[in-house]
Structure formats: C-alpha cells, structure tokens
Amino acid sequence: MLFGRKKRQICRLLIVEDEPLVAFDTEHFLREAEFEIVATVDRVATALEVIRTERELDLVLVDISLADGSGFDVAHAAHGASIPVLFVTGACPEGARDVAAGCLSKPYAQRDLLAAIDAIEAVIVGKKPRRLPDGFSLFDKAA
C-alpha cells in the first residue's frame, strides 16, 4: 500500500483523568484516532494497578491533580516500568522533566494532543518531531 498509514509505535494508552467529561472526550477522540485505550481511570491506586498488571502499555496520559493523590505517583510508576508519560495538566509542574516525556497544557485542541503524542513517538524511534504544538513541552534531550 503506497499511501497507507505508517505503523505507530504508540498504540496502547492509559488515560488517568478525574474530570469525567475530559476523560470521556479524550478517550472517545483517541479511539476515533485509532488508538487502543487500555483503561481510563480516575484514581492513582487504579492507575498503579493497571501499570503493574498490563504488559503492553505504550504511553500514559496523566493529569497532575487527581482526587485521591498526585499524578506524579502514577508518572513515577510508569517511568519505573519504562513506559513514557505525557502530563496533561493546567500547568506543567516542576520536576516533570524527571519522569515524563512531555507536558501538554490544558485546555488543548485535539490536534495538539495528537501532535504531542506524535512528537513523543518520533523521539522514541530516533527522529526529530515534525511539529510541536502550542502549550507542549517535549522533555527528551534528543528532540
């Protein structure tokens, strides 16, 4: 297939968001963009369980402020399991660079979320990202 879609390296996602409407919209949009959503959870403990038990996660999207704790705990667990993290939050917190691949500021356009995921994927495969969306910080030194 000459003009087919490229094979993605990031396919299976975990969404950690405690705002129901944001979680629903994000999950729906990413499914439509042909990502597989392994789980959408709203609690730190549940996210940690998914990270511990799910063998094939390609990226964790996590908000910092969760009802039962900090998204940093989720990011630390994912980072320890060698799973890239994208913080999706109102303001990128200090120390995010140590545990995440990037940070996308809310509110964001859906195309910016896709561009942020594409940028992280480019770095994973050793390429320079084509476009960095507004409100996105890519932390990988290779970019």
Listed by start position, the domains of the chain span: 12-138
Per-residue pLDDT of the chain (143 residues; tens, 9 = 90+): 455 556 788 999 999 999 999 999 999 999 999 999 999 999 999 999 999 998 899 999 999 999 899 999 999 999 999 999 999 998 888 889 999 999 999 999 999 999 999 999 999 999 999 889 999 999 965 44
Q: What is the pLDDT of residue 3?
A: 54
Give Cβ neighbours of residue 34 (< 8 Å, ≥ 6 apart).
Answer: none
pTM: 0.91
What's the distance, CA 19 to chain centroid?
16
Preceding amide of 20 cis, omega within 30: no
Domain range 12-138, CATH architecture: 3-Layer(aba) Sandwich (3.40)
Tokens, residue 130? 């084509």
Give Cβ neighbours of residue 56 (< 8 Å, ≥ 6 apart).
Answer: 12, 38
Q: What is the pLDDT of residue 131?
A: 84
